[in-house]
Structure 1
Amino acid sequence: MRATSLLDRLAPPLFIFIWATGYIVAKLAAPHADPLTFLCWRYAGVVVLMLALAVAARAPWPTRRNVLHLAVAGIGIQALYLAGVWVSIRQGLPAGTAALIVNLQPVLVAAAAPLIGERVAPRQWLGVALGLAGVVLVIWHKLNVGTSFGPPLLLCLMALLAITGGTLYQKRFVPHFDLRTGQVVQFAAALAVTLPAAALVEPMHIEWHRDVFIAMAWSVLVLTAGGISLMFYMLRHGRVTAVTSTMYLVPSVTSVMAWLLFGETLGAQAIAGMGVTLLGVYLVVARKPETPRP
């Protein structure tokens, strides 16, 4: 089996696992660091890491035009998305509600897919709908339905639109780039946007507690260098609707992690929702069997 074929098979489950740990990391860091300040340190760490890797490997740098495209996509996928989620949860929006809002992304991507030349088959639309239904079942007991959250809810909606728009923009304008130099550009742009915002709205407090060190190391080395790189790899080699639909599985994996690590409840309804989500994602990503030629 070719190395690229093996990576194609391993990338989705690895991405789902790594992306799901983001909620665990947020839970570790939240008591000890302002959210935007933590993200600034995270972005700076990624820039240093990826710059060192790029220089050591003499990786190719993007053209000036692609630098602009990468920066725009990075501001959406990194700065606005992460800021919206982290700040909204810090301001009291339940994590389950935030997860449900963010997991509307595959629906928006499927609806916008024709804009980048992708066709969504009826079977895939059914998968998108089933995936969303499964996510609702998994996190229903964590939702705070009927409560008004005002600004935190708007921030989470901003995060949803930002990561959806950033993903579509990147797939449309700069689908191919070196992952090392490309991430230097994207995270430098994210830092340039987030740092002034943090200075404006936060005291920029960060307590270098053991949990913060763990969260920071995991965020830089695994969540970003691993998770983001895998997402970009999948976007480069696959259809954006299929790639974003794998995110439907993240709440299920996160629920299992929270059950194992923090003793959170994992009931029959959540387990049933995981099954529905798996079926939905399968319908989206499975290749249609080719009709044999006579």
Structure 2
Amino acid sequence: MTTASLAGRTTDHPYFWPTVFILMWSSGYVAGKVGLPYAGPFTLISMRFASAALILLLVSIITGASWPSRPKDYLHLAAVGLLVQALQFSGLYLGLSLGVAAGTSAVMVGMMPIFTAIGAIVFLGEKVSPRQALGFLVGLLGVALVVAHKMGVSDAQWGGYLAILAALAGITIGTLYQKKFCVGIDLRTGGFVQLTVASLVAVPMALFAEEFRVIWTAEVMGSIAWLSLINSIGAVSVLFMLVQRGQASQVAGLFYLIPSVTAVMGYLVLHETLTRLQAVGFAVSAIGVYLSTRKTP
């Protein structure tokens, strides 16, 4: 089940997998916020990475998944694991634990399309059409509308915002690296390697900074299960599949919808506010995503 073969067998509507990805990825912000009162950020991601790695190892063995044949493939997978898994989610959860709102963190990471588009042009030789560039700008406007009422009024420490910026760097650079060096690698074994490397980074940090303390409740157990299965395995696998199917800059445009969807989920699950301005932002973001991801006939 390489990214290429999985994409080749996908016969669904062209917006099916992007929709699945957006829902999966957005839910991670809410699930993380649910679990953080009961475990430190590094402890939470350690359990997330380790459990997801174990699941993928068992799946790989049971299904006879192919393993990378070249040593350098393992090095590339390790690099993606450090960036997309360890750096991104360590920064994200640390920022959330320091008081950054779920919607605000989503909009900061939602800046990914701009930086990914620039990186795709410079490092991957991709071309961004005027329509796509317009889509990036429209999407950015929609994102700004979604969280306009939250910016500037949060009591989050500045360290929280810096941590979210580190998460943004991890997902942006990691996506470009995945597109450049990890195409064609089986998602099951590749995911296991990435999550194992991320675990080796997160576990010592959890032990040193938080002594791996957990208040075991239904909320934290549900959070860990959701983050492991739906986000670390499901959402990241779909992301890499979409990167394989299209240009990295087009796939990155999907991130403009994540703050809007996160705001809706936060309203439904965390009882956060949802305003008319946010609803307008949702519509504007959708237009931006359509413009930046629609392929030219």
Q: Shorter-chain TM-score: which interval?
A: over 0.9
CA deviation after TM superposition for structure 1 residue 7, in Å: 7.0
3-state DSSP of counterpart to 1:141: coil
Aligned to 1:159: 167
Aligned to 2:79: 72
* CA distance in 2: counterparts of 1:5 and 1:148, whole angstroms: 44
Instruction: Within 5 Å, give how 1:106-185 maps onto structure 2.
Output: 106-114=113-121, 115-144=123-152, 149-185=157-193
With structure 2 as the length reference, what TM-score do the two structures score?
0.92
CA deviation after TM superposition for structure 1 residue 9, in Å: 3.7
Instruction: Within 5 Å, give how 1:1-294 maps onto structure 2.
Output: 3-6=9-12, 8-62=14-68, 63-114=70-121, 115-144=123-152, 149-289=157-297
3-state DSSP of counterpart to 1:136: helix
Consecutive unaligned residues in structure 2, runs of 5 or more: 1-7
3-state DSSP of counterpart to 1:266: coil
What are the Cα deviations for residues 238-272 of structure 1, in whole angstroms up to 9, with x where unaligned?
A: 11111111011111111122222333322221111
- Change in 2 beyond 3 A, CA 1:97/1:266: closer
- Change in 2 beyond 3 A, CA 1:257/1:90: same
What are the Cα deviations for residues 193-233 of structure 1, in whole angstroms up to 9, with x where unaligned?
A: 11122222223211121001111111112122211111111
3-state DSSP of counterpart to 1:31: helix
3-state DSSP of counterpart to 2:11: helix
CA deviation after TM superposition for structure 1 residue 71, in Å: 0.5
* CA distance in 1: counterparts of 2:45 and 2:113, whole angstroms: 25
With structure 1 as the length reference, what TM-score do the two structures score?
0.93
3-state DSSP of counterpart to 2:274: coil
Instruction: Answer yes or no: is the 8 Å Cα contact 1:20–1:250 preserved in 2.
Output: yes
* CA distance in 2: counterparts of 1:277 and 1:162, whole angstroms: 23
CA deviation after TM superposition for structure 1 residue 146, in Å: 8.8
3-state DSSP of counterpart to 1:208: coil
What are the Cα deviations for residues 65-90 of structure 1, in whole angstroms up to 9, with x where unaligned?
A: 11100110110000000000100121
Instruction: Answer yes or no: is the 8 Å Cα contact 2:82–2:197 preserved in 1.
Output: yes
* CA distance in 2: counterparts of 1:244 and 1:117, whole angstroms: 16
CA deviation after TM superposition for structure 1 residue 108, in Å: 0.2
3-state DSSP of counterpart to 1:218: helix
* CA distance in 1: counterparts of 2:13 and 2:229, whole angstroms: 19
Aligned to 1:292: none
* CA distance in 2: counterparts of 1:256 and 1:94, whole angstroms: 13
- Change in 2 beyond 3 A, CA 1:77/1:5: same
Counterpart AA for 1:57: T
* CA distance in 2: counterparts of 1:45 and 1:184, whole angstroms: 10
Consecutive unaligned residues in structure 1, runs of 5 or more: 290-294
What are the Cα deviations for residues 8-46 of structure 1, in whole angstroms up to 9, with x where unaligned?
A: 542100010111111210121011011101111111111
3-state DSSP of counterpart to 1:287: coil
Counterpart AA for 2:180: R
Counterpart AA for 1:154: L
